Amino acid sequence: MGEMTSQLERLVHSPAGAALVVVSVALTLLAMVASSLRTLGGLYRHFIRGGRNLRQYGEWAVVTGATDGIGKAYAEALAKQRLRLVLISRTASRLEEEAKAITDKFGVEVRVVAADLTSTDPAVFSRIQEALKPLDVGILVNNAGMSYPHPEYMHVVGDEDIKNIVNLNVLSLSKLCRIVLGGMKERGRGLIVNVGSGAATAIPSGPLLAVYTASKAYVDALSRSLDHEYREFGVRVQNQAPLFVATKMSKIRRAEGRARIDAPTPEVWAAAAVRAMGYETVFFPYWFHALQAAAVKLLPASLVQYQVMQIHRSLRRAAYRKKSKAAAELLRARSGNEAGEAPAPTANGVKKDD
């Protein structure tokens, strides 16, 4: 022990030892400065930096999946910035209703296109292209997206679910980019916001949501590549990635009207997203999601993956419990009905994804 201590002392007092100490201290200081700058940068981006003037990109913004959740909130936040809107989703009646609500509240013109974006029918995209052709489209928000009804092992996921996820999250999103990019390049201005997901952009893997996670990894890679491809023409492409947001898709409800800190309301999320438009290529607009993504980076990937698998496994179990409870209730109601005791449940009695 005494021998080792004196060897260490000799090393510290030698020129090589002194240099080693200086380099270690300098590296530690550098790491501390870099980490402080990162923290300050994050605080600035999320709480101080103002939003861009979004009308610089053009007069119109197109939002897909605009009748509910995050898309509806994007549409309203953009209308607040005095942009005229084209809203796209499947249900014509909900689109008309939302268009009227936005025009009444913000006084901006709103057009709608009812289209099922899981479709591969070229006529669907020709219709969208025709509707957008005469417009000075400055912003496209590719928000519509879908996942499995609940986390599931790949061999159990239906063919139809896989086809719809790929068609909507990958194919339609790419086709819509293609439809607007030509005009944006010609005008020398434009912005495409693709709504990705923390599942692919923050977390190392998405077990039990494999196809969804892979589709969002595509969104991430496409956005990064297109941003560099079109930047020289004045056109920007971003991946704005949420983690949990309280919507129908995440099935997270607000307790007593209040959102969880890790799952903001769509309105809170979209306000942050609109403020971040035109800045970073890949961004977590909501501050707590950015914090979560940064924390994930610091932890060992194996630990994060284990935890994600545990969470998805328990969500899957909960979904199965819900399904068997609904089936048992249906059976009870049916047998009661046959015995003339109770009325059969209404079509609304069982939720779509039960």
Ligand X SMILES: NC(=O)c1ccc[n+]([C@@H]2O[C@H](COP(=O)([O-])OP(=O)(O)OC[C@H]3O[C@@H](n4cnc5c(N)ncnc54)[C@H](OP(=O)(O)O)[C@@H]3O)[C@@H](O)[C@H]2O)c1
Nearer to ligand X, 54 or 241 (CB): 241
Nearer to ligand X, 65 or 151 (CB): 65
Shortest Cβ distance from residue 80 to ligand X (Å)?
18
Residues 6+ apart with CB under 8 A from 227: 236, 237, 238, 281
Nearer to ligand X, 174 or 250 (CB): 250
The answer to the question of residue 270 lying near ligand X (CB under 6 A) is: no
Q: Which residues of 312-347 are buried (b: 16+ CB within 10 A; e: fewer)?
A: beebbeebeeeeeeeeeeeeebeeeeeeeeeeeeee
Shortest Cβ distance from residue 251 to ligand X (Å)?
9
238-246, 272-280, 287-295, 334-342 -> range binding ligand X (CB under 6 A): 238-246
CA 287 to chain centre: 14
Nearer to ligand X, 34 or 92 (CB): 92
**What is the spatial distance between Cα 277 and Cα 35, in angstroms, rounded to a whole number?**
25
The answer to the question of residue 253 lying near ligand X (CB under 6 A) is: no
Shortest Cβ distance from residue 332 to ligand X (Å)?
31
Q: How many residues bind ligand X (CB under 6 A)?
A: 28
Nearer to ligand X, 58 or 65 (CB): 65
The answer to the question of residue 214 lying near ligand X (CB under 6 A) is: no
Per-residue x/- track, 97-136, ligand X (CB under 6 A) = -------------------xxx------------------
Interface pick for ligand X out of 108, 157, 168, 273 (rule CB under 6 A):
168
Interface pick for ligand X out of 45, 46, 63, 65 (rule CB under 6 A):
65
Per-residue x/- track, 73-92, ligand X (CB under 6 A) = ----------------xxx-
Residues in region 217-236 near ligand X by CB under 6 A? none
**What is the spatial distance between Cα 225 and Cα 239, in angstroms, rounded to a whole number?**
11
Shortest Cβ distance from residue 301 to ligand X (Å)?
20
Amino acid residing at 44: Y
Residues in region 137-166 near ligand X by CB under 6 A? 143-146
The answer to the question of residue 96 lying near ligand X (CB under 6 A) is: no
The answer to the question of residue 242 lying near ligand X (CB under 6 A) is: yes
Shortest Cβ distance from residue 108 to ligand X (Å)?
19
Per-residue x/- track, 17-36, ligand X (CB under 6 A) = --------------------
Indicate if 212 belongs to the active site. yes
Token pair for 137? 């489209």
Among the listed residues 212, 218, 230, 286, the single catalytic one is 212
The answer to the question of residue 264 lying near ligand X (CB under 6 A) is: no
Asked if residue 218 lies in contact with residue 172, where contact means CB atoms within 8 angstroms, the answer is no
The answer to the question of residue 67 lying near ligand X (CB under 6 A) is: yes
Strands laid side by side in the 60-64 sheet: 110-114, 84-89, 60-64, 137-142, 190-195, 235-240, 282-283
Q: Which residues are catalytic?
A: 212
- Name the site residues for ligand X (rule: CB under 6 A): 65-71, 89-91, 94, 116-118, 143-146, 168, 195, 197, 242, 244-245, 247-250
